[in-house]
Amino acid sequence: MNLRWIFLPIAFRDAAEPRQLGFQDPATPMMQGIIDSHHDISFFLTVISILVLWMLVRALWHFNHGRNPIPERIVHGTTIEIIWTIFPSIISMFIATPSFAPPYSMDEVVDPAITTKAIGHQRYRTHEYPDYNSSDEQSLTSDSYMIPEDDSESGQSRLSEVDNRVVVPAKTHPRMIITPADVPHSRAVPSPGVKCDAVPGRSNQTSIFIKRGGVHYGQCSEICGTNHAFTPIVAEAVSLDDYVSRVSNKLD
């Protein structure tokens, strides 16, 4: 038996969990790159921290007034100065090289399969599907409000679920245009690796490739007013057939 199937998680973690320390499970290659970069940099930070701590403890142990009552008269050392100049430069190159890919992939604009528009409000979100028109020739639109705690059903995330989720197809290249209707907002959904500011008077865009289905939870990460903490974001990635079926039902 292949052991990797035994240790597979029962479900993907696409929402925050109590006492969670790590990342949510990545739903896009972009988020996977961010997590890999974090782990690589954490390795270097751990090694450097141990090395600096060892040097500090060694210096405190050997160069104290009990062991060395007469202070050493060291002005400079050419060798050590060359080492502590070149060695950090090499480490910086190892850190910088793999970290270039995630930021550029966030800004990469591909030929989108669909386009959705997210409009931020101080109490809710409006999602438009400009690729489709309803019967009155207006873009398909839905408002997304948080479900109050008293109205939530069993199994729903507390203060994180909405009445109308934004639906996107998995294994495609959707593009999202983000803009506010009033004050600055910021759309942050950790699992797909989406973090895009909504600036008044501007329209920002981000393109992603969701590699699997799931329900991804996020929040507005810009303090936008009194109800800032009560404007969750929920994006549901479904198969292409399911997406077409849902859009067709809304158009009817």
pLDDT band at 246 (very low <50, low <70, confident <90, very high): confident
- pLDDT over 70 at 81, yes or no: yes
Q: What's the whole-number average pLDDT of the chain?
A: 82
Per the listing, tokens 């966030």 go with 106
Number of neighbouring beta carbons within 10 Å of residue 36:
15
Q: Which residue has the higher pLDDT, 84 or 139?
A: 84
**Residue 136, pLDDT score:** 57
- Domain at 110-251, CATH from 3.40.640.10, 2.60.40.420, 3.10.105.10, 2.130.10.10: 2.60.40.420
**Residue 11, pLDDT score:** 56
**Residue 13, pLDDT score:** 66
- pLDDT over 90 at 50, yes or no: yes
Per the listing, tokens 């077409």 go with 244
| Burial letters 50-71, b for 16+ CB under 10 A, else e | eeeeeeeeeeeeeeeeeeeeee
Q: How many secondary structure helices (H) and strands (E) does the chain include?
A: 4, 10
DSSP of 43-99, one letter per residue?
Answer: HHHHHHHHHHHHHHHHHHHHSSTTT-SSPP-----HHHHHHHHHHHHHHHHHHHHHH
Structure tokens belonging to residue 170:
């998995």
Residues whose CB is less than 8 angstroms from the CB of residue 204 and which lie 6 or more positions away in sequence, other chains included: 177, 178, 179, 196, 197, 198
Q: Worst-scoring range by mean pLDDT, 12-16, 202-206, 218-222? A: 12-16
**Residue 211, pLDDT score:** 87
Helix (H) or strand (E) holding 129: strand 125-133
- Residues 83, 21 contacting (CB under 8 angstroms): no
pLDDT band at 49 (very low <50, low <70, confident <90, very high): very high
**Residue 46, pLDDT score:** 92
Q: What are φ and ψ of residue 3, in 5° steps?
A: -70, -25
Per-residue pLDDT tens digits for 152-178: 777 777 888 888 888 888 888 888 899
Q: The pTM is what? A: 0.76
To 10 degrees, what angle do helices 78-99 and 29-62 make?
Answer: 160
Number of neighbouring beta carbons within 10 Å of residue 241:
9
- pLDDT over 70 at 228, yes or no: yes
Give domain limits for the chain: 29-106, 110-251
Looking at this protein, which amino acid is placed at residue 37?
S
Structure tokens belonging to residue 242:
């399911």
CA dihedral 114, 115, 121, 126 (to 10 degrees): -50
pLDDT band at 135 (very low <50, low <70, confident <90, very high): low
DSSP of 175-215, one letter per residue?
Answer: EEEEEESSS-EEEEETTTTEEEEE-TT--EEEE----S-EE
- pLDDT over 80 at 108, yes or no: no
pLDDT band at 6 (very low <50, low <70, confident <90, very high): very low
**Residue 227, pLDDT score:** 81
| Burial letters 168-186, b for 16+ CB under 10 A, else e | bbbebbbbbbbbbeebebb
